[in-house]
Amino acid sequence: MADPMRIRAQAAGDKTTVRVLMSHEMETGQRKDSAGKLIPAWFIQEVTAAHNGKTVLTAEWGPSISKNPFLQFVVKGAKAGDKITISWVDNKGEKRSDEATVT
């Protein structure tokens, strides 16, 4: 099981800024280990954000995204108390989903 994400969602007016920090190796598949063998690619492929269960953002990611990625976006119309759910799936099929409440 992957390590938890850190999600912060802060409302200001009718906009909510969501900041997500994900814990992932994001191996490109280009690097070699100390023995000279290729380290197999391992990265997040799909990111989904939902506001009270309704999908507001989907993203396709690839090996060019950094290790432990940081994602920030704005959701219109989200109020304090609403739920923001972030999920990702990586190329090994591993999944992680975390939820935060808008403050």
Partner 1 sequence: MKRNLLLGLAATALCAGALAQKSAADGIAEYRKMLEDGNPADLYEAKGEELWKKARGPKNVSLQACDLGQGPGVVKGAFVTLPRYFADTGRVQDLEDRLVTCMVTLQGLNGAEIVKTPFGKGEMANVTALATYVAAQSRGLRFNLPQNHAQERESYEVGKRAFFFRGGSHDFSCASCHGEEGKRIRLQDLPNLTKNPGDGIGFAAWPAYRVSNGQMWGMQLRLNDCYRQQRFPYPGFASEVTIALGTYLGVNAKGAESIAPAIKR
Find the binding residues for partner 1 in span 45-84 (CB under 8 A).
66-68, 70, 72
Question: In angstroms, rounded to a whole number, what is the distance separating the alpha carbons of residues 6 and 98?
Answer: 8
Distance from C-alpha of 22 to C-alpha of 33, rounded to nearest angstrom:
24
Least distance from C-beta 1 to partner 1, angstroms? 12
Residue 85 to residue 91: CA distance in whole angstroms: 20
Part of the chain binding partner 1 (CB under 8 A), chosen from 19-27, 46-54, 78-86, 89-97: 19-27
Residues paired with residue 76 on neighbouring β-strands, in sequence order: 15
Residues binding partner 1 (CB under 8 A):
3-4, 6, 19, 21, 23, 66-68, 70, 72
